[in-house]
Structure 1
Amino acid sequence: MKKREIIISGLLFILLLSPVKICSEEFKRALPGRTFSFPQDHYSHPEFKTEWWYYTGHLQTQDKKSFGYQLTFFRTGLRKERNDKKSKWAIQDLYFAHLALTDESKNHFEYREKMSRGSLGEAGASIYGSKEPFRVWIEDWLVELKGYQSQNHFLKAGGKDFGIELLLTPGKSSIIHGQNGISQKAEGEGFASHYYSIPRLATEGRIFLRGKELAVLGMSWMDHEFGSSQLRQYQVGWDWFSIQLDNGVDLMLYQIRHKDGKPDPYSSGTAIFPDGRSEHLPLKEFRIEILSHWKSRKSNAVYPSRWKVHLPRYGIELTLSPTVKDQELITNASTRVTYWEGSVKVEGKYQGHSIKGKGYVELTGYAEAFSKGI
């Protein structure tokens, strides 16, 4: 490992062990009443400690080969105050990125990771209030809006042996999750995030895999979330689901787990309809049933691996199955979190009619408790 990476890894280790109360005292908490404004809220919010920009999607080549992808950029704040005259060596944020590709036809999953401090221009993110086009980057990995008022997202990560270059065009507006501007994650003021999604983005571009360049088309999902102290000590991880049904209905659901495996009462979701309407879903509105498990040979973690999702009020009953069972990321070179993040196929019933779709599932806290100052 390079010297610079060793230094950053040491800083990250200290950061992850920091108690939650330090976050709440030094950084702003997610509180009710926030009014979102776009495209400005795509930008970075450095007054909050933790922030991420998350993209997943389902892609297909001209010869009908299917791929899933994930690209996520993370920002972790080390200090709230911003100093325009700071030394070029000063570290105010740490940046991380994960890129993953699922080759469904070959039952193959592969990923890369990056990390950097936000100095010397090697990493950063355009700050809320800036008039420049939005951009978040680590070296040559980046997400950017193609112009200040543009709604198109350009993604570039990896290289010619393994990478993506994609242009995403929103098909739906940004959807705010939760209630009154916050997505509550636990009991108590500030144990929440500001969280929104763009649930459908038409996608075109190319992927690079095993030395081959493949032209692709598909559909993506984008999340952006920021806060400072979302989880309580008794919460160990979460199960998160994004679902895009063929009839134009989209679902976001998450269950935050307690140490005894039960979902936290503040777990929730959002139903998003073809006309752009959305409805908040408290935990009582849905049930997620685990149908089977998969054990990782690398981490020995045991993950749920097939699910049935019930939303009785909407007449929705869906079965979610991974396209590839092993979609685990062990990110020892960046965030030091082991988690499962993968593409799933969706089949079931919608108001009595058969329905299909696609989705992504994220599972944290199965390899270790995920309560490290998040």
Structure 2
Amino acid sequence: MQRRDFLLALAALATPAAAVEFAPVRPGRPLVFPADHGAHPDFRTEWWYATGWLSLPDGSPFGFQTTFFRVRTGIGEASASAFAPRQLILAHAAIADPGLGRLRHDQRAARVGFGRAGCTTDRTDVWVGDWRFKQFPDGYRAAVQGSDFAYALSLAPSGPPMLNGQAGFSRKAADQRHASYYYSRPQLKVAGTVTLAGRTHRATGHAWLDHEWSSALLPEGEQGWDWIGINLADGSALMAFRLRDRTQSAQWSAASFRPAGGATQTFPPHAVSFEAVRHWQSPRTAITYPVEWRLHIGRRRFLLQALIDDQELDSRPSTGAIYWEGAVRLLEDGREAGRGYLEMTGYGESIRLG
């Protein structure tokens, strides 16, 4: 996309836009489907975030990420001009390639309008140029054409949305004004194609989708977050996160666990802990990230290990952030229990998004 759209995106994410009244997140507002699969343009930020593990016909494992962000900028809302950048769509895409030893990744940004970018409010359908994430009656389709990779994937749900927090009201601090509406679609069955180095391969696997929207996400003083979404081998699903301050101490934590075919259980901050075991330093940015973790969720103990250490994604041209986003294995009692993704933000500068 054109450079001015990247600059607009950075300005919108960094500007308080205090004069604009964004829609608030309040407890007790039920999530209603299919309407809440669609966009919520009255809120400041929103994302659809699909991650997963893929296997090629020879058994080679890969991770993939597709993230689309919608940002209400607070700019030009009183203008009648179709060029006013009221809403922006940003997108990140990546393949975690063990053979390469790092991510293949790319990004896009554009203002909504003129067919260049957009989203719909009645179902999931968000796009930037020829990148698209769209909902169909049988699931979702993700299509990305990056600079050195591409994929076209179908993602089929195995059950209803998993509501995180209090029926989808997900607090990010003791003060409930800092919250989002948040649900997940775990255990998505994936099939499609992946193109690497000019060669197209059939691919299958499992994925996780998060959809989250808010107007005030991070309280003052919080530096970033650590998040996991894990599909367990027995059909269950685990989401957990913690938010950290500038000393890297946890300020808020939460988790959701849904057994196969069962009801979702939520965990309060005192029942969730992340303990870093091993670190890796990026040769490009010199940022150090934990790439192996011990997790305590209720009475269960897990070990989280990265597929490859170097899964750093530099999104400074779009969201202004450098973060670690990658495929991980979850071990319990020394055995692999599941696979999913780990996201870590704010290990360099404070995260701007939200």
TM-score using structure 2 length:
0.94
Partner of 1:48: 43
Shift of 1:106: 4.5
Q: Verify the 8 A CA contact 1:90 1:119 in the aligned structure 2.
A: no
1:140-179 matches, cutoff 5 A: 140-146=130-136, 150-158=137-145, 161-179=148-166
Q: Which amino acid aligns with 2:302?
A: L
SS at match of 2:10: helix
Counterpart-to-counterpart distance in 2, 1:63 and 1:297: 31
| Residue 240 (structure 1) shift | 0.4
Gaps of 5+ in 1: none
Partner of 2:346: 365
How far did 1:90 drift? 2.5
Offset of residue 80 of structure 1 = 9.3
Q: Which residue of 1 aligns with 2:174?
A: 187
> Equivalences for 1:1-374 in 2 at 5 Å?
4-5=2-3, 7-19=4-16, 22=18, 26-79=21-74, 86-127=80-121, 130=122, 134-146=124-136, 150-158=137-145, 161-264=148-251, 266-313=252-299, 316-349=300-333, 354-370=335-351, 372=352, 374=354
Q: Secondary structure at the match of 2:250?
A: coil
- The structure in which a higher percent of residues are strand is 2
Q: Percentage identity across aligned positions?
A: 33
Q: Helix, strand or coil: the match of 1:8?
A: helix
User: How far, CA to CA, are the matches of 1:359 and 1:91 in structure 2?
Assistant: 35
* Cα 1:118–1:260 shift into 2, 3 Å: same
Contact 1:27 1:80 (C-alpha < 8 Å) held by counterparts: no
* C-alpha separation in 1, matches of 2:56 and 2:143: 18
How many residues are paired up?
354
Change (3 A) 1:328 1:107: same
Distance in structure 2 (CA, Å) of the matches to 1:318 and 1:10: 41
Q: For the residues of structure 1 that align with 2:295 and 2:265, how far apart are their CA atoms?
A: 17
Residues 246-300 of structure 1: per-residue CA shift (max 9 Å, x gap): 1222110101001222111x32110111014111111211222110111111111
Distance 1:231 1:164 in 2: 33
- The amino acid across from 2:24 in the alignment is R
8 Å Cα contact 2:65/2:94 also seen in 1: yes
| Superposition CA RMSD, Å | 2.1
Equivalent pair of 1:66/1:105 in contact (CA under 8 Å): no
Q: 1:160 to 1:312 in 2, by over 3 A?
A: closer
For the residues of structure 2 that align with 1:134 and 1:250, how far apart are their CA atoms?
22
Deviation at 1:29, TM superposition (A): 1.5
Q: 1-side partners of 2:236 and 2:229: how far apart?
A: 11
* Aligned-partner SS, 2:40: coil
> SS of 1:51's equivalent?
strand
How many angstroms apart in 1 are the aligned matches of 2:74 and 2:210?
24
Tell me, what secondary structure is at the counterpart of 2:248? Answer: coil
Amino acid at match of 1:337: A
Cα distance in structure 1, aligned partners of 2:191 and 2:37: 21
**Could you tell me the TM-score, scaled by structure 1's length?**
0.89
Contact 2:267 2:297 in 1 (8 A): no
1:171-226 per-residue CA deviation (whole Å, 9 max, x = no partner) reads 12101111154101123342110000001110000011110101011001000000
Does the CA contact (< 8 Å) of 2:47 and 2:68 recur in 1? yes
CA pair 32-334 structure 1, distance change in 2 beyond 3 A:
same
Shift of 1:26: 1.3
Q: Secondary structure of the equivalent of 1:267?
A: strand
Task: Name segments (4+ residues, structure 1) moved above 4 Å.
Answer: 80-83
Name the CA distance, whole Å, in 2 between partners of 1:234 and 1:359. Answer: 29
| Corresponding residue SS for 2:244 | strand
The separation in 2 between residues aligned to 1:340 and 1:44, in whole angstroms, is: 26
